[in-house]
Structure 1
Amino acid sequence: MSEPVETPPNASPVLPEGRLSGRTVFVGLLRQAFAAAASEGWDRILLCDPDFADWPLGEREVIASLNAWASRGRTIHFLARDYRVLRQTHPRLVQWRTTWSHLVEALACASASVDELPSMFWSPAWTLQRLDPVRCTMVASRAAERRVTMQEQWQQWSLKATPAFPASTLGL
């Protein structure tokens, strides 16, 4: 098991590859991935998890990375079973989503069971897939074949999903 690598300020994080495990490692890798997205200018990010409950999406560090990443022509796609837990546990992300709504697409696949929907971070440069959320085992990779496989998996689930997690809710 390798620990996430500390990154000097203004440097692109070195994202590891291979099998990893541990909740602390998972959270650290996600922080590093969002920082890499900002510093490397990834144009597209795909996120998938049943509810994103244990992702660090509401942390100031992650929101700062998302703010640095947010730019014209970039998109971030969320796919979850539902967004109730995310809304309750990550209020900073909910606010960020409102501010940057034109960059965000969010889908929900309520028909998926908690065990079916994958837990993954996909980018054009690096991927992270959590294979076992309970034990927090995961695989990180830069391999093109893994990126293609994960993108296809995300696409298959998105076809079963509907728009969700709106930037604002209109009331009467």
Structure 2
Amino acid sequence: MDTPDEPRHTADDADAPESAAAAHPSGRIDGWRDFQDRLRAALAMGTTEPADWRLCDPDFVSWPLGERAIVEVLQQGVLAHPRTRLTLLAARFDEFPRKHPRWLAWRQDWTHRVRCLQANEEDAPQLRPMLLWPGRLGLRLLDGVSGRGVWSTDPATLHVWQADFDVISQRSAEAMPGTILGL
């Protein structure tokens, strides 16, 4: 995935010692469309190697998880890499059946690799939209209404974001079972 605000390389800078990603380990996200485009690109990039994705949002209603292309990318990733995992952390999942039915259908086959966690009432107000590929890439919205935020490949920043996610997820409960067992 090209990192945002990355300069285009020319023949004159072919001998540059640092990659553009190392020179620019972070940048801005300028709205929900920008966030969604970066999310799609990040997930596609994640199919090339095992990934342990962490996604966080109060309700995921503005995410493109129900798109056919997103489900296909997720399918490619989990089929290609047995260690690929996905954890979603939300305040509530009540809009998933309406907003992301295709994702829910896909998840039924992958409940052993896809966890859904519901934050407790105390932690729920702290949830901000975020995608984290630990050690590689993060997208984090600072304003969930406008969709403005930041992206980063900086290991120190990603470590802080992962710690924030982990603190809330450890106090969260399993939610949205992949299948409903009955008699």
* TM-score, with length taken from structure 1: 0.86
Return the match for 2:72 from 64, 72, 79: 64
Deviation at 1:87, TM superposition (A): 2.4
If you compute each CA radius of gyration, which structure gives the higher value, 1 or 2? 2
Counterpart in the other structure of 1:88:
98
Q: Do 2:59 and 2:93's aligned partners in 1 also have CA atoms closer than 8 Å?
A: yes
Deviations 1:117-140 (A, max 9, x none): 121100031000011011111100
Answer with 103-112 or 141-150: which moved more: 103-112
Shift of 1:43: 2.3
CA contact (8 A) 2:90 2:124 kept: no
Structure 1 partner of 2:51: 43
Ranges in structure 1 where 5+ consecutive residues have no aligned partner:
1-12
Q: How big is the shift at 1:112?
A: 4.3
Q: What is the aligned length?
A: 159
Q: Point out where structure 2 has 5 or more consecutive residues left out of the alignment.
A: 5-25
What is the TM-score when the length of structure 2 is the normalising length?
A: 0.81
Shift of 1:170: 2.2
Look up the equivalent residue of 2:38 and give its one-letter code.
L
* Identical counterparts, % of pairs: 31
1:19 Cα deviation after fit: 1.4
1:55 corresponds in structure 2 to: 63
Task: Name the CA distance, whole Å, in 2 between partners of 1:20 and 1:46.
Answer: 18
Contact 1:15 1:33 in 2 (8 A): no
C-alpha separation in 2, matches of 1:46 and 1:113:
17
Cα-Cα RMSD: 1.5
Residue 56 of structure 1 aligns to a residue whose secondary structure is coil
**101, 111, 120: which one aligns with 1:101:** 111
2-side partners of 1:114 and 1:55: how far apart?
18
Aligned residue number for residue 117 of structure 1: 127
